[in-house]
Structure 1
Amino acid sequence: MQFDRIGNHMAAAVEYSGHAFSAVRGCSGHLHFDSMIRNSKKINSPLKMVAASKYLPKVSPSHPRGDDAHFIAADEQFIGVSDGVGGWRKHGIDGGEYARRFMINSLIALIHKIPNNNNNGWHAKSPKRVLEEAYVKTTTQGSSTACIISFSGEDNMLRAANVGDSGFMVIRNGAVLYRSPIQQRSSNNCPYQLGTTKDDPSVAEEIELRVEKGDLVILGTDGLFDNMFEREMLDILERGAMLGDDLVKQCSDVAKIAHSNSLDRLRDTPYSIASRRAGKRHKGGKIDDITVIIARIE
């Protein structure tokens, strides 16, 4: 199963309770995310963030939607990913359901804006504030990582709040300008997580970066970053730029290579290297759900 259609359809479908939302279209009781957002009618600033996505759930007949969820909100200039912790399944709990609910509640938090004191406008919420509100509203059992990013054309600032081992990179002129740190406990593959755990949004790493026209943001779950080195992603983006590929094609190419690497039992991957450093014997990739969002500042 894979989701990457262009237009008014979806990148990852999650159950939804009934609110309309800017870059989101509802269908048959489900929430569908546009995989390519070309224009934002409300954004009048010189620069905006344009995003596309690709989701490849790992093959599981009993769990076809996987554990990842994500959203793209064009008018609000927000993107986000979450990765449900699959370990809950041994307790009869669907970790993916928590991730999906968390993304839904993140969208709802964006709908409810903060009025200015003079009552003639609205304050934009920070990613951390959205994270906090979604955390309070998500009462489903389970837990997930989460990374939420916003862009403001007023000051050209990219802002993010990240919990766990999902994360993002900012690329400028073919080189990595910034990569978010992984929040992980000492044991390998035990990330910080929100939900039915001891962690809460106070552990979130908050990031602010000034970005420029042409900068790229790659946001993804650990299924991406565990299976691809930075150089592999940069090569795909460079080749795509030379060929004139749009963001949807570039997302698809990145996700497909990550998926191929995850199934390769011999190649070195970021996950296999980290495992060996932690004293574990592991070769090859890590089979996992893979979510890729690529955003361009333009």
Structure 2
Amino acid sequence: MAILMEQLETGMKQISVVEGSVVHALDHGARLRVLPYLKEDGGACLPGTTGSQSQSKPTATDEDLDDGVSFGKLQKAPRVRALRMNLASCYVPDHDEDAHFVHPKSGFVGVADGVGGCRGKGVDAGAFARALMKHALAGANTTANPVDPYSLLQEAYLKAAGSSTPGASTAVIVSLSGTTLRWACLGDSGFAVFRGGKMRHGRPTASRTRVVGEMQVAVDDVVVVGTDGLFDNVFDMDLERMVRRGCLSPQMMAEKIAATARKASKSLAPSPFSLESAKNVKDGRERHFGGKVDDITVIVAYIVPKGC
């Protein structure tokens, strides 16, 4: 496990340089995968996620989030006793190292992204992400509600590491119970919550420790979960614009967001990734221009009353 932890540390340091410089042309024949919901008989979509363990369990709620990096306090909304997520996913592979699952019955989803820095060592960079998501999904079928994303992610990590699966991964697990949305994030896979077309909680930041928190959500909120293939290529205001226009099913919205991210990944126009790389030039890192070609995973969940 110590070796895997060291690999994760190294991978997180290398990912922005390695994945930012390995650009693949997707002009012809890029595959757009629309993955079905998890079936109640146990059938699932793809797997995905993981990272290092932290000794503490940092938490954040909608009461203490500030306006730092697109984190904002939620406006008060009428409470509904029980909510559910009407959700769908879309996956556009490049190296095919992302993994994810959706579990409508238990009200939780997971996304993971294998650390590309492991790729040069002859390791399948997606293997750990797939193992992580597989164990997280299995854990959901044996865990009583409400699902605790932190515990689930930790247990999934221990099982993936215990099976000697090589590599490392970023990850995020998001669950909904009642009106409470809970999450555990590691690295730059993350999620955003929109209310009235405005991002109320959003954009992940790279972290080697697990960020854990919860917030209250309301009917008509929209949750978008994704890997860095989404967040490195699409600005917050563009996500807001797509969500605000709405009138699409979760599946169509997931496909639209994924297609937008793919198009931006091949463009030379400024992207969140290129703007961030400009800040790191002083640290000796390579300057990147345009979008970043990468695996793109998008999960869209509409918050609706339970029973609808």
Q: Structure 2 length normalisation: TM-score?
A: 0.72
Q: 1:24 to 1:263 in 2, by over 3 A?
A: farther
Asked if the contact 2:106/2:147 (under 8 Å) is kept, the reply is no
Residue in structure 2 matched with residue 150 of structure 1 by the alignment:
175
1:32 and 2:57 matched: no
Q: CA deviation at 1:235?
A: 1.4
Asked if the contact 1:6/1:248 (under 8 Å) is kept, the reply is no
Q: 1:24 to 1:112 in 2, by over 3 A?
A: closer
Q: Distance in 2 between matches of 1:132 and 1:112?
A: 15
Q: CA deviation at 1:238?
A: 2.2
* 1:227-264, Cα deviation, whole Å (9 max, x unpaired): 0001111112222x2xx321111111110110011011
Residue in structure 2 matched with residue 22 of structure 1 by the alignment:
40
Q: Distance in 2 between matches of 1:171 and 1:104?
A: 28
Asked if the contact 1:24/1:73 (under 8 Å) is kept, the reply is no
Q: CA deviation at 1:23?
A: 7.2
Match of 2:269 among 264, 267, 270: 267
Equivalences for residues 1-298 of structure 1 within 5 A: 1-4=31-34, 22=40, 24-25=42-43, 31-32=44-45, 46-58=82-94, 66-113=96-143, 122=144, 124-139=146-161, 140-153=165-178, 156-179=179-202, 181-184=204-207, 192=208, 203-239=209-245, 241=246, 244-264=247-267, 266-279=268-281, 280-298=286-304
Q: Distance in 1 between matches of 2:37 and 2:184?
A: 28
Q: Distance in 1 between matches of 2:41 and 2:301?
A: 14
Q: Distance in 1 between matches of 2:203 and 2:235?
A: 14
Q: Distance in 2 between matches of 1:204 and 1:72?
A: 21
What value does the CA root-mean-square deviation take over the aligned residues?
A: 1.9
Q: CA deviation at 1:125?
A: 3.3
Residue in structure 2 matched with residue 40 of structure 1 by the alignment:
none
Asked if the contact 2:196/2:244 (under 8 Å) is kept, the reply is no
Q: Distance in 2 between matches of 1:103 and 1:74?
A: 15
Q: Distance in 2 between matches of 1:249 and 1:263?
A: 22
* 1:201-220, Cα deviation, whole Å (9 max, x unpaired): xx211111000000011110
Asked if the contact 1:23/1:72 (under 8 Å) is kept, the reply is no
Q: 1:214 to 1:273 in 2, by over 3 A?
A: same
Asked if the contact 1:24/1:32 (under 8 Å) is kept, the reply is no
Q: For CA contacts below 8 A with separation 6 or more, give which structure has more relative contact order.
A: 2
Identify the structure with the greater strand proportion: 1
Q: Distance in 2 between matches of 1:158 and 1:54?
A: 21
Q: CA deviation at 1:32?
A: 3.3
Give every structure 1 segment of 4 or more consecutive aligned residues whose post-TM-superposition deviation is greater than 6 Å: none
Gap regions ≥5 residues in structure 2: 1-30, 47-80
Asked if the contact 1:146/1:162 (under 8 Å) is kept, the reply is yes
Q: What is the aligned-residue identity percentage? A: 38
Secondary structure of 1:125's partner?
coil
Q: 1:248 to 1:23 in 2, by over 3 A?
A: farther
Asked if the contact 2:132/2:156 (under 8 Å) is kept, the reply is yes
Secondary structure of 1:88's partner?
helix
Q: CA deviation at 1:88?
A: 1.2
Q: Distance in 1 between matches of 2:287 and 2:262?
A: 21
Secondary structure of 2:270's partner?
coil
Q: Distance in 1 between matches of 2:128 and 2:229?
A: 18
Q: Distance in 1 between matches of 2:159 and 2:238?
A: 38
Gap regions ≥5 residues in structure 1: 9-20, 26-30, 34-44, 114-121, 185-191, 193-202
